[in-house]
Amino acid sequence: MGSVSNPSQDSAQNFTEIARDDLSELADIAREVATAAAAHVRARRPEVFGPGAQGENAAARGPVETKSTPTDPVTVVDTEAEQVLRTLLAERRPADPILGEEGGGSTESVEGVRWVLDPIDGTVNFLYGIPAYAISVAVQVDGVSVVGVVVDVAREILYSAVRGRGATATSASGDVATLTCNPISDVALALVATGFGYGSARRATQGKIIAELLPQVRDIRRIGSAALDLCMVASGAVDAHFEHGLSPWDWAAGSLIAEEAGAAVIVPKPMSTSGEGAATVALAPGIEEDFLRLLDALGALDPIPAD
């Protein structure tokens, strides 16, 4: 497991004890509801935007609104997918509080079980028809993720982890693979995934960091979904991920999947929101110390506040 110390990991040993059978049940429910929401999203895109619609052609055909900035869209399918998740959870776990990107909920620390939902992580990709967007469902206990499920909607891959039990990827055909980070030890050979905020000031700072980082690593990838980036660290598709300003629903499931695959993980404090600009980091263990030293030298471990 990852060895980076951070508030969420440090408190992981203190969360309310859950019986093994109960934890397995929570994981089964998380996989069930995430799979249902992914099927809804997969079916609805051609219905809402038209077969093959991409980019602004898609935006012109379907209900699209904006949130924090004009470049931060939300579609009717985001809202529908979260409602699918909430409806199913209301049937299976009616007493549990929920924090969702579209439906809201308290970001304050919650004792006991809480579900953290991102109905479509990678909405811009979804809008443009780029096949890299995901459903993210996490179960947290006392603010610590204990179950994480991320569904790569277009590729029909289900990533799943339970704290202390490892992480897996299940294909559409049902094949299950155990996830393990790459055995890389040289930062200069690291393939690094990252993402950028929607506000111009944060983006400018992030761009400066990337400009200084790029000559010191193999290359940079900007996939457009933090949940998938974290799962890619877990699967070995990339060696590192860092991003500022993620909200709890962006990292709650994927960070656990990366951690259970062996990654060194840093996540924001449980109450942190995207406006505070803290960094989320996941690293293959062999480059942990050197990469963190590099990020620190670049100021990339410091928060980057929103505009």
Q: What is the pLDDT of residue 276?
A: 86
Under DSSP, the state recorded for 129 is: T
Tokens of 210: 């990337």
Q: Is residue 14 classed as helix, strand or coil in its secondary structure?
A: helix
Q: What is the pLDDT of residue 105?
A: 78
Tokens of 245: 């300003």
List the domain boundaries for the chain: 7-178, 187-297
Tokens of 272: 């942190």
Q: Is residue 94 classed as helix, strand or coil in its secondary structure?
A: coil
Q: What is the pLDDT of residue 101?
A: 86
pTM of the model: 0.90
Give, in words, the CATH class of 7-178: alpha beta
Burial 257-278 (b: 16+ CB within 10 A, else e): bbbbbbbbbbbbebebebbbbb
Q: Which residue has the tokens 């928060």?
A: 303
CATH 3.40.50.720 fits 187-297, yes or no: no
DSSP secondary structure string, 164-228? TS-EEEE-TT--EEE--------GGG-EEEE---SSHHHHHHHHHHHHHHGGGSSEEE--S-HHH
Whole-angstrom Cα distance, residue 188 to residue 198? 29
User: What does the pLDDT profile of the chain (307 residues) look like in tens digits?
Assistant: 333 445 444 444 445 566 677 899 999 999 999 999 999 999 988 888 876 655 555 554 555 665 555 454 568 899 999 999 999 999 999 999 999 988 877 666 677 899 999 999 999 999 889 999 999 999 999 889 999 999 999 999 999 999 999 999 999 999 999 999 999 999 999 999 999 998 899 999 999 999 999 999 999 999 999 999 999 999 999 999 999 999 999 999 999 999 999 999 999 986 567 768 999 999 999 999 999 999 999 999 999 998 7
Q: What is the pLDDT of residue 54?
A: 58
Residue 129 in contact with residue 54, Cβ under 8 Å? Answer: yes
Q: What is the pLDDT of residue 67?
A: 53
Q: What is the pLDDT of residue 107?
A: 62
Q: Which residue has the tokens 């289900």?
A: 158
Whole-angstrom Cα distance, residue 281 to residue 264? 8
| Interstrand relation of 167-170 and 113-121 (parallel, antiparallel or unpaired) | unpaired
Whole-angstrom Cα distance, residue 291 to residue 78? 35
Q: Give strand pairing partners of 264.
A: 283
Whole-angstrom Cα distance, residue 139 to residue 70? 31
